[in-house]
């Protein structure tokens, strides 16, 4: 199974390129294409209505649009449920509903996005290719950086937690066990690594994120940048390439989309600038803009003549 992320500035044609690649790949492989962009248009490209579940489009091609708000809500509801169970005594006072305020925690969207990728990868092992159409640059870089940022935090927190347990162990050894009939809350504190819920949870999260990070940086994962022959797209693509390099994520292809006879020269300059400055070994594909495409309502937007798969 191989995973491909399509990324780039807003409006450059990520979704169309991702859809075209998925369509071309599906001739010989089984493919699932998932849109992570909150402003979905995968359904529009294929001319179908997609809900938050996998839909079969052709024999080998499946489509999905992720409802991020719904995912965030589900995740927080799960957490609120754990909290409510832990503090079940609050039910007696009818106070458990106050945890609902957590629904408004910021930063949850990126997490929901990442969880969604993880789930799709875990459940998509029967596909040859998983293609993700991602939101514009800013959010994409943030969520792709999330495993690494999180791992750094988890490692720091685990270090402090281990120090706490070490010191608790010393206290326990000096004090000895509680005597008969004695109730001392300090003595009941957990000092073994396996008994501490916080450390156990941190360890589980650490393992989760490390494996996700290994996967994202691995051979089976590819990132493809789509850009247009203009200055803004060039600058944003440069930032994106730098960001991907910092994160150690594998950039495999550059697609120069919407090239016409008028902007041919600019297209050449933009491609040259990107390749020379950032990715000498990375192939570039050029995709022409069909000027009449918007007027031809019945036309398949995903079926383009350029070959997008041979470089993958």
Partner 1 sequence: MNPSFSEKMKHILEGFLTGRKESVIALTCKEVQELENIFSLLLLGSFVGFPAPPTFLAVELLPYMEREMQVLQYRADTSGDMLAELCGILGVD
- Give contact residues for partner 1 (rule: CB under 8 A): 75-76, 79, 82-83, 85-87, 102, 105-108, 110-111, 146, 149-150, 153-154, 156-157, 160-161, 163-164, 167-168, 170-171, 174-175, 186, 189, 197-198, 201-202, 205
Q: Measured from the CB atom, is 13 or 135 closer to partner 1? A: 135
Task: Tell me 249's DSSP state.
Answer: -
Instruction: Note every long-range contact of 190-199, with CB atoms under 8 Å and residues 24 or more positions apart, other chains counting.
Output: 190/165, 191/165, 192/165, 193/162, 193/165, 196/161, 196/165, 198/161, 199/158, 199/161, 199/162, 199/165
Q: Measured from the CB atom, is 42 or 202 closer to partner 1? A: 202
We find the least distance from the C-beta atom of residue 76 to partner 1, in angstroms, to be 7
We find the least distance from the C-beta atom of residue 179 to partner 1, in angstroms, to be 9
Q: Measured from the CB atom, is 151 or 312 closer to partner 1? A: 151
In 176-297, which ranges are continuous DSSP H helix? 197-217, 231-247, 264-277
We find the least distance from the C-beta atom of residue 199 to partner 1, in angstroms, to be 9
We find the least distance from the C-beta atom of residue 104 to partner 1, in angstroms, to be 11
Q: Measured from the CB atom, is 100 or 296 closer to partner 1? A: 100
Q: Measured from the CB atom, is 198 or 291 closer to partner 1? A: 198
We find the least distance from the C-beta atom of residue 192 to partner 1, in angstroms, to be 15
Residue 221 three-state SS: strand
Contact indicator for 39, 30 with CB cutoff of 8 Å: no
The helix (H) or strand (E) run that includes residue 23 is helix 14-25
Output the CA angle 149-127-138, nearest 5 degrees.
Answer: 30
């Amino acid at each position: 199974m191989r995973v491909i992320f399509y990324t780039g500035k807003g409006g450059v044609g990520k979704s169309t390129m991702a859809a075209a690649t998925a369509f071309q790949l599906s001739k010989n492989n089984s493919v699932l294409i998932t849109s992570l962009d909150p402003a979905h248009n995968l359904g529009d490209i294929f001319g179908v209505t997609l809900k938050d579940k996998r839909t079969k489009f052709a024999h080998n091609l499946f489509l999905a649009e992720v409802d991020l708000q719904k995912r965030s809500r589900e995740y927080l509801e799960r957490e609120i449920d754990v909290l409510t169970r832990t503090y079940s005594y609050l039910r007696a006072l009818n106070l458990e509903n106050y945890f609902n305020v957590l629904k408004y925690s910021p930063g949850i969207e990126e997490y929901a996005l990442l969880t969604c990728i993880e789930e799709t990868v875990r459940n998509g092992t029967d596909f040859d290719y998983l293609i993700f159409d991602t939101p514009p640059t800013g959010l994409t870089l943030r969520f792709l950086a999330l495993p690494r940022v999180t791992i750094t935090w988890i490692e720091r927190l685990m270090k402090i937690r281990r120090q706490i347990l070490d010191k608790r162990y010393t206290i326990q050894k000096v004090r000895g066990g509680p005597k008969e009939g004695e109730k001392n809350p300090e003595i009941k504190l957990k000092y073994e690594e396996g008994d501490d819920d916080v450390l156990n949870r941190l360890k589980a999260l650490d393992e989760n994120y490390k494996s996700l990070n290994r996967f994202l940086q691995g051979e089976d994962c590819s990132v493809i940048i789509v850009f247009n022959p203009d200055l803004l797209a060039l600058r944003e693509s440069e930032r994106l390439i730098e960001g991907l390099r910092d994160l150690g994520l594998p950039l495999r292809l550059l697609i120069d989309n919407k090239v016409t006879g008028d902007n041919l020269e600019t297209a050449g300059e933009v491609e040259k600038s990107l390749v020379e400055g950032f990715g000498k070994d990375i192939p570039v594909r050029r995709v022409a803009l069909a000027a009449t495409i918007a007027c031809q309502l019945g036309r398949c937007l995903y079926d383009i003549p350029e070959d997008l798969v041979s470089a993958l």
